[in-house]
């Protein structure tokens, strides 16, 4: 006698399909707020930071909704490929728990809820969010299959978050931070493709078509170049940026960034293969400790100026 099929709660299933575990990536919208400490606001003066905090938090929530809409559209597009993938086959749309029509309807609702309020917060922030949605929908529709262009598009999404966070509170952040975040995004996008290549080998393109145009050597080179450039540009940011103390104390955070980066590379190329390396950041104790140490030191430096 077989057990009764597990009953799935529709609302919970939709929430799962929205990938809330990816929402922390939208935290980059807080970069402008954090790195403007001591200039645009003072920690001991709530009147200076409270309005900026709630505007940034509101934008963060809207980015979460819009990015979830993009994930739903992407999963509808990739449902056939995902259905034969060892991990992605558990996604609600690939598994058949949510119909493509229902998923697309939910995506439209999310975009309708997210984009207009973003324009009310700030016209430029709304335009950035709308542009992000348009570009990422085009990415899901076919651009994701174009080698190199696929990872460049993902980089623009990270920069868009940083720009949106700066415009919504009307502050300027260093161009170095934009450059650094771009190469960091390039590094993580390349690392995911490198991980898939290592796990699936010559058949990797059956799960991600763009991998057919990436020789393994090229992926490895792109990974190393983007890692080195991200670290160097961050180091330059801590020294050259006008948004950090001019005594160079922000450079104290470089060792934590370097350690986390090298630890990530170590795990990425270790014996345990995975096609979801981004989860390493949220599960590895050493990376988590490095991140917390970075936050503590950076916070102390920025708030003490």
In sign, the C-alpha dihedral spanning 33, 36, 42, 48 is negative
Phi/psi for 4 (5° steps) reads -65, 145
> Can you read off the two tokens belonging to residue 168?
């919504």
Prediction pTM value: 0.88
Helices (H), the chain: 10-17, 31-35, 46-77, 79-82, 92-95, 100-121, 123-141, 149-168, 175-200, 216-240, 254-268, 280-283, 285-303
- Following CA atoms 294, 249, 187, 144 in sequence, which dihedral angle do they give, to the nearest 10 degrees? 90
pLDDT digits (tens, 9 = 90+) for 12-55: 899 999 999 899 999 999 988 988 877 778 878 888 889 999 99
The interaxial angle of helices 175-200 and 149-168, nearest 10 deg, is 140
pLDDT digits (tens, 9 = 90+) for 106-146: 999 999 999 999 999 999 999 999 999 999 999 999 888 88
> Can you read off the two tokens belonging to residue 21?
């575990």
pLDDT at 273 over 70: no
CA–CA distance, 138 with 232 (Å, rounded to integer) = 32
pLDDT of amino acid 1? 42
pLDDT of amino acid 7? 55
């Amino acid at each position: 006698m077989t057990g009764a099929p597990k009953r799935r709660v529709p609302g919970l299933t939709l929430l799962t399909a929205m990938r809330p575990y990816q929402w922390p990536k939208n935290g980059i919208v807080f970069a402008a707020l954090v790195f403007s400490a001591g200039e645009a606001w003072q920690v001991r003066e709530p009147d200076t930071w409270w309005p900026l905090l709630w505007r940034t938090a509101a934008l963060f929530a809207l980015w979460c909704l819009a990015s979830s809409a993009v994930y739903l559209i992407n999963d509808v597009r990739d449902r056939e490929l995902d259905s034969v993938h060892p991990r992605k086959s558990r996604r609600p749309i690939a598994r058949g728990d949510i119909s493509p029509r229902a998923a697309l309807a939910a995506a439209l609702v999310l975009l309708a809820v997210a984009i207009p309020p973003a324009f009310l917060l700030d016209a430029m922030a709304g335009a950035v969010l709308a542009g992000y949605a348009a570009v990422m929908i085009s990415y899901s529709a076919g651009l994701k299959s174009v080698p190199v262009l696929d990872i460049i598009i993902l980089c623009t999404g990270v920069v868009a978050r940083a720009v949106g966070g700066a415009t919504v509170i009307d502050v300027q952040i260093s161009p170095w931070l934009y450059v650094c975040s771009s190469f960091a995004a390039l590094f993580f996008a390349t690392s995911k493709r490198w991980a898939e290549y290592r796990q699936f080998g010559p058949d990797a393109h059956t799960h991600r078509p763009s991998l057919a145009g990436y020789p393994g050597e090229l992926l490895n080179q792109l990974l190393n170049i983007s890692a080195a450039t991200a670290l160097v540009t961050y180091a330059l940011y801590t020294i050259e940026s006008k948004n950090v103390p001019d005594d160079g104390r922000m450079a104290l955070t470089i060792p934590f960034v370097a350690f986390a980066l090298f630890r990530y590379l170590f795990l990425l190329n270790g014996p345990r293969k995975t096609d979801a390396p981004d989860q390493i950041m949220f599960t590895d104790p050493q990376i988590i400790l490095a991140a917390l140490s970075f936050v503590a030191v950076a916070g102390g430096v920025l708030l003490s100026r």
